[in-house]
Structure 1
Amino acid sequence: MKFLGKQYMVELQGCNAELLDDPSFIGEAMTNAALKANATIVQQFFHQFSPFGVSGTVVIAESHINIHTWPEHFYAAIDIFTCSDTLEAEKAIDYLKEILEARNCTTSMINRGQIG
């Protein structure tokens, strides 16, 4: 069975709340995560919410990496979607877990776009 891509859904709990609420830090962390996964960055956008929280997307040639943070809950939700067999999502996940100082990380993966 062949699929067009894989989607990784990552839940980081017990993160550093200050880091989760800093759009510059989040942008740099997400860019570095994409690079560690051997992704080709196309464009990125990050938005600071009021009173707190950051959402952002790194569009990559292989698809995208998204983040949504809830500093008040020490939580970040990350989605990595790739149509590439060479993207190393696990490296991005490990990096983000470490840089956001997560105490707990839960990852699930689903195949997307069954063909043939």
Structure 2
Amino acid sequence: MASAPHLPLGIHLLADLSGIAPERLRDCAALERLLREAAIAAGAQVLHGHFHSFGPGQGVTGVLLLAESHISLHTWPEVGFAAVDIFMCGAARPQLALDIIQAALQPAHCQLQSVRRAPPG
């Protein structure tokens, strides 16, 4: 008996966003709100979040644990750069989450990698 083809279990987006105004990359609370808004709009369920500011004028690192996997963000305001990692499975829409993040951060450039996550076969 032939097995059913493996569909991707999820899509993992890795986005390098550059050319961002530094002030958009420093506000820890605003970045957490942005990621939560993006996750919910994408149809994901937020389980827990943890965000950390490295001090006045410095970058932020944060992660949302989702029932569907995770979203993480690391910012370097001194070079106008943010690394965004979005992995969602099921009916959640990671590209929609990324679109919302990009609309808020307004990067000049986005280098995107998209990985289909699934077992071999």
TM-score (norm 1): 0.90
Q: 2:117 is matched with which residue?
A: 112
Q: Does 1:80 align with 2:118?
A: no
1:19 Cα deviation after fit:
1.6
1:83 Cα deviation after fit:
2.5
* Structure 2 spans left out of the alignment, 5+ residues: none
Q: Does 1:63 align with 2:74?
A: no
- Flag the structure with larger Rg: 2
Q: 1:35 is matched with which residue?
A: 40
Q: Deviations over 1:9-60 (max 9, x none)?
A: 0111111211201101111111111011111111111001146110000111
Q: 1:102 is matched with which residue?
A: 107
Q: Deviations over 1:61-109 (max 9, x none)?
A: 000000000101101000011222x111111111111101211122111
Contact persistence 1:4–1:115 (CA under 8 A): no
* Structure 1 spans left out of the alignment, 5+ residues: none
For residues 29 and 9 of structure 2, the distance between their equivalents in structure 1, rounded to whole angstroms, comes to 32
Overall identity of the aligned pairs, in %: 34
The 10-residue stretch of structure 1 (29-38 or 106-115) with the greater mean CA deviation from structure 2: 106-115
**CA-based RMSD:** 1.5
TM-score (norm 2): 0.87
For residues 36 and 106 of structure 1, the distance between their equivalents in structure 2, rounded to whole angstroms, comes to 22
Contact persistence 2:11–2:94 (CA under 8 A): no
1:6 Cα deviation after fit:
2.3
